[in-house]
Structure 1
Amino acid sequence: MKRSALITGLPLGLALSLACAPSASAVPALDSGTHFIHHQSHHNHQSHQAPRIVKTWLKAWNDADAQRLGSLFTGDGRYTDHAFGPTFTGPAGVQQWVANTHAGIADVRGDLRWAHKHGDEIVFSWYFSGHFRGAPEGFRVPAVTVITLRGNKIATNDDYYSHADVLAQSGLPADWQPDA
């Protein structure tokens, strides 16, 4: 890598790190009764600013509409959950991911924080929340999704969030894994 490319890449990487990190006022806090206290960020972006595909993705996710979410992907589109590890391919694979998630987690929800589109890539920050069936508590964690488009369809979808935070907030042991 050339020195100029490294120098140029460092500010971009730092900017993305800072943009994706939740501010202290945006991180959900737990009170003594372990209920979530929601704080509004001063940098809250409204969903109407998000690309249409992001709004459609979140609506389908929140509605457990596996067919609609699957229809957003190319025939060979790939979804990867980098926290728990599985990858699903194609619209049918995406439908299976949605079905598996909603079967294992009650009250699944995604709440958009912000979204940015640059060329054929979209990055959006959101809160992922739900309650694993059988877990003592629910969870709400910041997540970042990186989408690459091919035309108007999703070619790749990579979700990033903290596996450790999900389990800790849920009251589950650190080595817990969902049923396959």
Structure 2
Amino acid sequence: MLTEAIFDDLEQAWSDKDIDRLVSLFTPDCLYEDLALGARHEGHAGVREFAEGVFATMPDFTLRFPVRLVTPERGSSHWTISAHWNGPFEGIDRTGHPIEFHGLSSYVFRDGRIAHNIDCWDYVAMIKAFGVLPLDLAALPTAK
């Protein structure tokens, strides 16, 4: 039976940057979607590629799940990511810039692993935090 421990394992694998362990938490035919980026990653290879990209841009990436909900078939979480950025963001070098952002995820579980992961977060809040928001958009409100 699936328990909240899957979130402990997921949090630890991401924070340890243990890609093999992370991939093992997903079904081989999984789908990982990031709605803010419009990205879809399929299967273990897709999760691996996504994680490698995350760790390249945020080498000290840490993840926390302050709110978690799990049933045998579905789950959801509120998460917080904190890191320092490495490289350009929206064409501007933001290396060393600290970043913290929050989001929500929805999960479908199968055979004790994640079959479908959907991440939702506020991209406008991210570009505001990096100071790369175009002036005509700077007045847009962001969630707190």
> Same fold, TM exceeding 0.5?
yes
Please tell me whether residue 75 in structure 1 is matched to residue 28 in structure 2: yes
Q: CA RMSD in A?
A: 1.6
Aligned residue identity for 2:68: A
Question: Matched residues in 2 for 1:119 and 1:72: separation?
Answer: 15
Deviation at 1:130, TM superposition (A): 1.9
Q: Would you say the 8 A contact 1:131–1:170 is kept in 2? A: no
Please tell me whether residue 158 in structure 1 is matched to residue 118 in structure 2: yes
Match of 1:68, SS? helix
Please tell me whether residue 105 in structure 1 is matched to residue 58 in structure 2: yes
Question: Matched residues in 2 for 1:90 and 1:123: separation?
Answer: 20
Map 1:47-126 to 2 at 5 A: 51-126=4-79
| Number of aligned residues | 125
Aligned residue identity for 2:28: G
Aligned residue identity for 1:143: G
Deviation at 1:155, TM superposition (A): 0.6
The higher relative CO (CA closer than 8 Å, separation ≥ 6) is in: 2
For the pair shown, which has the larger CA radius of gyration, 1 or 2? Answer: 1
Among candidates 99, 104, 108, match of residue 139 of structure 1: 99
Give the TM-score normalised by the residue count of structure 1.
0.64
Identify the residue that residue 23 of structure 1 maps to in structure 2. none
| Identity across the alignment (%) | 26
- Structure 2, unaligned runs of 5 or more: 88-93, 135-144
Identify the residue that residue 7 of structure 1 maps to in structure 2. none
Which ranges of 4 or more aligned residues in structure 1 deviate by more than 4 Å? none
Deviation at 1:53, TM superposition (A): 1.0
Identify the residue that residue 90 of structure 2 maps to in structure 1. none
Match of 2:60, SS? strand
Question: Matched residues in 2 for 1:171 and 1:66: separation?
Answer: 30
Give the TM-score normalised by the residue count of structure 2.
0.79
Aligned residue identity for 2:54: T
Question: Matched residues in 1 for 2:61 and 2:115: separation?
Answer: 24
Match of 2:77, SS? strand
Match of 1:148, SS? strand
Match of 2:132, SS? coil
Question: Matched residues in 1 for 2:83 and 2:35: separation?
Answer: 18
